[in-house]
Structure 1
Amino acid sequence: MDAAVSAHPPVAVVGPTASGKSDLALDLAEHLDGDIINLDAMQQYRGMDIGTAKLPVDERRGIPHHQIDVLDVTETATVARYQQAASGDVERLLAAGRTPVLVGGSMMYIQGLLDDWRFPATDPAVRARYEALLDEIGVAALHRRLAEVDAAAAASILDTDGRRIVRALEVIELTGQPFAASAPVIGEPRWGTRIIALDRDTTELDDRIRRRTRLMFEQGLVDEVHGLIGHGLRAGVTARRAIGYAQVLSALDGEYDVAQAEELTFIGTRRYVRRQRSWFRRDHRIVWLDAADRHLLDDARRVVES
Structure 2
Amino acid sequence: MADLCNLPRMVAIGGPTATGKTALSVALAKEFGGEVINADSMQIYRGLDIGTAKPTAEERQGIPHHLMDFLPPEAPYSVADFTAAAAPLIEQLNSAGKLPIVTGGTGLYITSLMKGTAFAPEKTDPAIRARLQTEADEQGSAALYARLQQIDPAYAEKLHPNNLPRVIRALELFEATGRRMSEQQRAALAAEPPYRSLCICLTCRDRAELYRRIDRRVDSMLQNGVLEEAKLVYDNREIYRTAAQAIGYKEFFPYFAGEMPLNDCTNRLKQATRNYAKRQLTWFRHQADGVWLYVDEEPPARRAAELVRQFLQN
Q: What TM-score, normalized by structure 1, do the two folds share? A: 0.90
How far, CA to CA, are the matches of 2:22 and 2:226 in structure 1? 20
**Residue 280 of structure 1: how far off its partner (Å):** 0.9
Indicate the residue corresponding to 2:141 in structure 1: 139
Report the alpha carbon displacement of residue 129 of structure 1 after superposing the two structures with TM.
2.2
Indicate yes or no: 2:276 matched with 1:275: no
Shift of 1:227: 4.2
Q: Provide the secondary structure at the position in 2 that maps to 1:172.
A: helix
State the match for 1:211 in structure 2: 216
Say whether the 8 Å CA contact 2:40–2:105 is kept in structure 1.
Answer: yes
Superposed displacement of residue 6, structure 1: 9.4
Deviates more, 1:253-262 or 1:189-198: 253-262
* Aligned-pair Cα RMSD in Å: 2.4
2:230 maps to which residue? 225
Contact map agreement 1:28 1:301 (CA 8 A) in 2: yes
Q: Is the 8 A contact 2:11 2:102 kept in 1?
A: yes
How many residue pairs get aligned? The number is 303
- Give the corresponding residue for 2:291: 287
C-alpha contact (below 8 Å) 1:38/1:103 kept by paired residues: yes
* Matched-pair contact (CA < 8 Å) for 2:152–2:182: no
Instruction: Measure, in 2, the Cα distance between the counterparts of 1:6 and 1:246.
Output: 45
Trace 1:84-233 onto structure 2 (pairs within 5 A): 84-120=84-120, 121-123=122-124, 124-183=126-185, 184-185=188-189, 189-200=193-204, 201-227=206-232, 232-233=236-237
Task: Give the 3-state SS of the residue equivalent to 2:9 in structure 1.
Answer: coil
Distance in 1, matches of 2:5 and 2:29, equals 16
Specify the code of the residue in structure 2 equivalent to 1:37: I
Write the letter of the residue equivalent to 2:196: G
Identity of aligned residues (%): 36
Distance 1:186 1:273 in 2: 28
- Residue segments in structure 1 that go unaligned for 5+ positions in a row: none
> How far is the alpha carbon of 1:100 from its aligned partner?
0.8
**1:78-108 deviation per Cα after TM superposition (whole angstroms, max 9, x unaligned):** 1122221222222221111111111101122
Whether contact under 8 Å (1:40, 1:105) holds in the other structure is yes
Residues 155-178 of structure 1: CA deviation (Å, up to 9, x unaligned): 221112111211222233344343
Q: 1:85 to 1:284 in 2, by over 3 A?
A: closer
CA distance in 2, matches of 1:187, 1:24: 31
Q: SS of the residue aligned with 1:22?
A: helix
1:247 is aligned to 2:251 = yes
Residue type of the partner of 2:97?
Answer: G
- 1:229 is displaced (CA, Å) by 5.7
| Amino acid across the alignment from 1:23 | A
1:295-306 matched pairs, under 5 angstroms: 296-306=300-310
Does structure 2 retain, via aligned residues, the 8 Å contact 1:6–1:97?
A: no
Query: What secondary structure sits across from 1:182 in the alignment?
Result: helix
**Which segment is superposed worse, 265-274 or 46-55?**
265-274
Cα distance change of structure 1 residues 14 and 189 upon mapping to structure 2, 3 Å threshold: farther
CA distance in 2, matches of 1:280, 1:145: 27
Q: Which residue is equivalent to 2:260?
A: 256
Q: Which moved more, 1:295-304 or 1:69-78?
A: 295-304
TM-fit CA distance, 1:66: 0.8
> What is the TM-score with the length of structure 2 in the denominator?
0.88
Q: Report if the CA contact (8 A) 2:230-2:252 is conserved.
A: yes
* Cα offset, 1:119, TM superposition: 2.6
- In structure 2, what is the Cα distance between the partners aligned to 1:91 and 1:229? 39
Residues 97-134 of structure 1: CA distance to partner in whole angstroms, max 9, x if unpaired?
11111110112211232222233523222222222222
- Following the alignment from structure 1 to structure 2, what is the Cα–Cα distance between the partners of residues 207 and 266? 10
Q: How many Å apart are 1:154 and its aligned residue?
A: 2.2
Aligned with 1:10: secondary structure? strand
By how many angstroms is 1:245 displaced?
A: 1.1
User: In structure 2, what is the equivalent of residue 10 of structure 1?
Assistant: 10
Structure 2 SS opposite 1:41: coil
- Residue ranges of structure 2 left out of the alignment (5+ in a row): none
Task: List structure 1 runs of 4+ shifted beyond 6 angstroms.
Answer: 4-8
Partner Cα distance (1:92, 1:258) in 2: 46
Structure 1 residues 249 and 114, CA gap change in structure 2 (3 angstroms): same
Q: For 2:131 and 2:114, locate their aligned partners in 1 and report how far apart those are by CA, in whole Å.
A: 31
Given that residues 40 and 106 in structure 2 are in contact (C-alpha distance below 8 angstroms), is that contact kept between their aligned partners in structure 1? yes
Aligned partners of 1:244 and 1:262 also within 8 Å: no
Contact 1:93 1:100 in 2 (8 A): yes
Change (3 A) 1:8 1:142: closer
Cα distance in 2 between the residues matched to 1:77 and 1:199 = 27
Change (3 A) 1:301 1:189: farther
- Matching residue of 1:32: 32
